């Protein structure tokens, strides 16, 4: 996750300069993202080709191969996985909103599209630094409580925008606060799934890492797609027109909606989901019980 944020910084700060380099029009965006897509595809392929399994799973003679339909049935019995799956969707919708709306806010409210890189840095650097504090915090307070606290801090960050919406300094401070709040949200995202895998095995006797992890990945893709598309949908409802030098008031309002108010709603949903996530409280018992089972 640390290096993922480094990737975010690189892409965010290279995008507009590359678009301008290739003409600044639609073709510039197409060429730029074609370059990014090609690099991404090569990196995915490299990862696939060079990653080797080091740890072999323990297979007992009496274990039977679990059929896919039986594995899928266990999902409905794993309530904490369902909560985490929904969390993936909700979190990713918020992530898509944040990334998509920052460009429009910088261009139309701050009147400086070049600020996108600075705003992204202001958000991402606190996230990266926060990662170094997460392990002891998770250990002492649990991932659930860390996510709730991070969501509350992020809400405060969004509300700071309302102090002076057209002030670059205020928006940078807002981004920093949201970055601090997002560190446990991003850091815990993929760390929640292993706990639900253990709970599923403890409850049903079936361990299905592949299905549970793919479900998390699917939730992420759904959320990013919906979140990013929502930016366009809401701006269209507000009458936003990229060809206009000055946007109507309804379009400006729609930018505030996707940059400030919808993210607040997303954070509230995250808090509600985590309120019902009680796994941290008895996870140690689950781990001990599973260890006893495996050794008998």
The 10s digit of each residue's pLDDT in 14-42 is 888 899 899 888 899 899 999 999 999 99
Confidence of residue 289 (pLDDT cuts 50, 70, 90): confident
Look at residue 4 and tell me if it is in a domain. yes
- The residue-averaged pLDDT of 90-103 equals 92
d(CA 147, CA 202): 24
d(CA 190, CA 81): 12
Same domain for 40 and 80, yes or no, is: no
Is 63 a residue whose pLDDT tops 60?
no
Same domain for 162 and 270, yes or no, is: yes
Look at residue 56 and tell me if it is in a domain. no
Label residues 61-87 b or e (16+ Cβ within 10 Å = b).
eeeeeeeeeebeebbeebbbbbbbbbb
Confidence of residue 254 (pLDDT cuts 50, 70, 90): very high
- pLDDT tens column, 118-149: 999 999 999 999 999 999 999 889 999 999 99
User: CA 270, 273, 274, 275 torsion: positive or negative?
Assistant: positive
pLDDT of residue 153: 97
Q: Which whole-number Å values give the CA distances from 81 to 2, 32, 145, in the listed order? A: 24, 38, 17
Is 62 a residue whose pLDDT tops 70?
no
Higher pLDDT, 72 or 246: 246
Same domain for 174 and 243, yes or no, is: yes
Q: Residue 66 gets which letter from DSSP?
A: P
Same domain for 23 and 150, yes or no, is: no
Is 3 a residue whose pLDDT tops 90?
no
For residue 191, the number of C-alpha atoms closer than 13 Å in the C-beta half-sphere is 18
Q: Residue 163 gets which letter from DSSP?
A: G
Q: Residue 25 gets which letter from DSSP?
A: S
The answer to whether 179 and 130 are in contact (CB under 8 A) is yes
Same domain for 280 and 155, yes or no, is: yes
Confidence of residue 64 (pLDDT cuts 50, 70, 90): low
Same domain for 155 and 276, yes or no, is: yes
Higher pLDDT, 291 or 248: 248
Q: Residue 67 gets which letter from DSSP?
A: P
3-state secondary structure of 191: coil
The CB density around residue 273, as the number of other CB atoms within 10 Å, is 22
Burial class (CB in 10 A: 0-12, 13-18, 19+), 227: buried
d(CA 248, CA 271): 34
The answer to whether 186 and 134 are in contact (CB under 8 A) is no
Is 60 a residue whose pLDDT tops 80?
no
Is 272 a residue whose pLDDT tops 70?
yes
Supply angle C-alpha 149, 132, 137, rounded to 5.
Answer: 40
Look at residue 60 and tell me if it is in a domain. no
CATH number at residue 289: 1.20.1250.20
How many structural domains comprise the chain? 2
- The residue-averaged pLDDT of 146-163 equals 96
The answer to whether 145 and 112 are in contact (CB under 8 A) is no
- The residue-averaged pLDDT of 273-279 equals 93
Higher pLDDT, 2 or 119: 119
Length of the chain: 296
Look at residue 92 and tell me if it is in a domain. yes
The answer to whether 103 and 19 are in contact (CB under 8 A) is no
Same domain for 85 and 36, yes or no, is: no
Look at residue 62 and tell me if it is in a domain. no
The CB density around residue 253, as the number of other CB atoms within 10 Å, is 14
- Show the domain range for 225: 70-294
For residue 267, the number of C-alpha atoms closer than 13 Å in the C-beta half-sphere is 27
Same domain for 202 and 233, yes or no, is: yes
The closest of 90, 120, 86, 89 to 106, measured between CA atoms, is 120
Same domain for 19 and 86, yes or no, is: no
Look at residue 54 and tell me if it is in a domain. no
Same domain for 129 and 271, yes or no, is: yes
- pLDDT tens column, 233-245: 999 999 998 888 7
pLDDT of residue 277: 93
Confidence of residue 226 (pLDDT cuts 50, 70, 90): very high
Percent of the chain that is helix, strand, coil (3-state, to 5):
80, 0, 20
The answer to whether 162 and 155 are in contact (CB under 8 A) is no
């Amino acid at each position: 996750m640390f290096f993922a944020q480094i990737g975010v910084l690189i892409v965010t700060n290279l995008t507009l300069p590359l678009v301008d380099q290739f003409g600044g029009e639609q073709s510039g965006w197409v060429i730029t993202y074609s370059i990014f897509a090609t690099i991404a595809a090569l990196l995915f392929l490299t990862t696939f080709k060079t990653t080797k399994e080091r740890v072999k799973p323990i297979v007992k003679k009496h274990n039977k191969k679990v059929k896919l339909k039986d594995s899928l049935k266990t999902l409905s019995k794993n309530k904490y996985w369902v909560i985490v799956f929904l969390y993936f969707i909700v979190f990713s919708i918020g992530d898509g909103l944040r990334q998509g709306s920052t460009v429009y806010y910088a261009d139309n409210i701050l009147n400086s599209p070049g600020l996108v890189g600075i705003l992204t840095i202001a958000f991402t650097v606190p996230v990266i630094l926060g990662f170094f504090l997460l392990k002891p915090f998770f250990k002492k307070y649990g991932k659930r409580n860390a996510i709730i606290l991070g969501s509350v801090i992020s809400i405060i960050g969004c509300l700071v925008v309302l102090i002076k919406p057209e002030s670059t300094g205020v928006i940078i401070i807002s981004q920093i606060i949201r970055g601090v709040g997002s560190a446990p949200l991003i850091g815990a995202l993929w760390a929640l799934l292993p706990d639900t895998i253990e709970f599923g095995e403890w409850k049903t006797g079936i361990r299905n890492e592949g299905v549970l992890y793919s479900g998390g990945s699917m939730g992420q893709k759904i959320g990013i797609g919906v979140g990013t598309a929502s930016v366009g949908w809401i701006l269209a409802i507000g009458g936003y027109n990229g060809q206009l030098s000055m946007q109507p008031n309804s379009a400006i309002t729609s930018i505030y909606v996707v940059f400030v108010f919808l993210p607040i709603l997303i954070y509230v949903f995250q808090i509600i989901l985590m309120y019902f996530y009680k796994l941290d409280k008895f996870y140690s018992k689950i781990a001990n019980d599973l260890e006893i089972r495996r050794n008998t």
